[in-house]
Structure 1
């Protein structure tokens, strides 16, 4: 009977679908494939520039999303250090590192694909993938991941994850509604960030298990290797060995 894949292995395999979908969309954009035709039709049906959509899109800007992540990462690091946890700085540093990866991945793709924008924006290129969507997804998603261990109740954790997801969806809707991006630009950024956040989650889970092992090891008694003294009574053939010592016996007078 084949062995069942471990949880980390299943998680890594779970990153393959968004990675493959991202590769497919990127190929279609670079090759001007047939998938772009329905994308353009959907954009024309959804575009309706207004102030509300512009404000929603701005939530994905670097000036808004990145400071949120920095504040949450600082708070998580402070809590970890105050709790005396080992490697307390790893979750916050990892979240910030994933944020740094976003422009390093997105900017070269924008230059390479050279996709033009929608009719709602001035003529230009470099709209694929959506940088605002990627910034929002990683900033708000990573902030939620590093904050979860410090939330006491399950309802608070669910609320944090739901708020993060709603912020990303709001930014995505605003970008498409305002005409800043084609729908596929946004979907591709979702796929890319699913891989990045999935990798971050795997790292945080590994750190959490390592801390639990350290706490478990610290709670065990120290094994010195010295033999424990025996409490069993050893029987001997000499009956006097088990008698208490009563002092020297007085000699008896002989008649």
Structure 2
């Protein structure tokens, strides 16, 4: 007779493999197109010419991806999560928080070498230069707001609260991404590539948290 626990683990493994494989493949495809100056790059440039229209609103939205904005939001969320889990006596309460902090610190370690290696020129709205692929501001926003959401969701009791938090996270990331393209700070593919990279990173964090959290362990009560 099939073991329900084994079936659940198999289903989880399949979902995680899909979450990791699809964005990784898309990231590889986009990177190849940028290196080869392929048809996606030419489409990207045409799309950028349509979308770019620098204004104050787009600049403010792009600022959502600044380290000075996104990282303090993540720090507050991690502090709250740590206090809640510690007060509840959760096993290894500090481990998910530490993993999230390490993931945030990995962003420049991953993105900066990629920028230097790819040396993609910026849009006409930017001064001449290279190092625009992938978008560091998009990655900062996606990992900061995404990580905060992943760790806060289990603390929320109602589906409505969880949907509201998820919607807010998506709005912040999409807002920053749109602002970066609209302002001309980045090509659209720079942003999409960062989405793919961060999807892999956030999926890995989610898998790690699921692995290190005991199913029957102490859980902090919802607010």
TM-score (norm 1): 0.80
Q: Distance in 2 between matches of 1:198 and 1:25?
A: 20
Structure 1 residue 64 corresponds to structure 2 residue 39:
no
Match of 1:73 among 78, 85, 90: 78
Is 1:23 matched up with 2:22? Answer: no
Q: Which residue of 2 aligns with 1:221?
A: none
Note the 1:23-172 alignment, pairs <5 A: 23-172=28-177
Q: How much does 1:214 deviate?
A: 4.5
2:212 alignment counterpart: 207
Root-mean-square deviation (Å): 1.6
Task: Output the CA distance in 2 between the equivalents of 1:62 and 1:148.
Answer: 23
Larger radius of gyration: 1
1:115 aligns to what SS in structure 2? coil
The offset of 1:206, in angstroms, is: 1.9
Count, aligned residues: 212
Deviates more, 1:164-173 or 1:95-104: 95-104
Rounded Cα–Cα distance in structure 2 between residues aligned with 1:36 and 1:23: 14
Mapped pair 1:173 → 2:190:
no
In structure 2, what is the equivalent of residue 7 of structure 1?
11
Unpaired stretches in structure 2, ≥5 consecutive residues: 1-5, 219-223
Query: Scaled by the length of structure 2, what TM-score is found?
Result: 0.91
- 3-state SS of the aligned residue for 1:133? helix
Deviation at 1:201, TM superposition (A): 0.9
Q: Distance in 2 between matches of 1:11 and 1:133?
A: 25
Find the residue that maps to 2:39 and give its secondary structure.
Answer: coil
CA distance in 1, matches of 2:118, 2:75: 31
Distance 2:169 2:152 in 1: 11
Change (3 A) 1:112 1:166: same
Question: Gapped runs of 5+ residues in structure 1?
Answer: 216-255
Q: C-alpha separation between the residues in 2 aligned to 1:158 and 1:94?
A: 24
